[in-house]
Amino acid sequence: MEREATLTAGLAARVELTVTDGDTAQAVGSGDVPVLGTPRVLALAEAATVAATASQLPLGATTVGTRVELEHTAPTAVGHTVVAEARLTKVDGRRLTFEVTVAQAERPVASGRIERVLVDRQRFVSGAFAG
């Protein structure tokens, strides 16, 4: 099966998060300030990459993150909403490269690049427990 055939550059998705106390740097252990923590920004950006390809994956396949480059440039207070957008920019065999942005209203909060690899879900999970 040609696994990468259904994945083409240009696939995109966006996901939103309204920041809660549980999303802050204090709560996730990445700092001591009560604003959106970088690990949550990354998780949101990764969720957008997953959403961008979810409907196009072959049966039994998934993607896993392998590389992240993220610049978190502005704070976001509890109660505010951020939107992560991901766009698939390159398909190289099983390797997928996404450009990601996160914004609060029109204000940039973070940007970067995330690489994911297309894998067979069952084989990947089995390998994790093999030992």
pLDDT in tens, 45-78: 999 999 999 999 999 999 999 999 999 999 999 9
User: What type of residue sits at position 30?
Assistant: S
CATH architecture of 3-128: Roll (3.10)
Q: If you average pLDDT over every residue of the chain, what do you get? A: 94
The beta strand positions in 1-131, using DSSP E, are 12-18, 61-72, 81-92, 95-104, 107-120
Q: What residues does each domain of the chain span?
A: 3-128
Cα(129)–Cα(113) distance, rounded to whole angstroms? 29
The pLDDT of residue 36 is above 60: yes
pLDDT number for residue 70 = 98
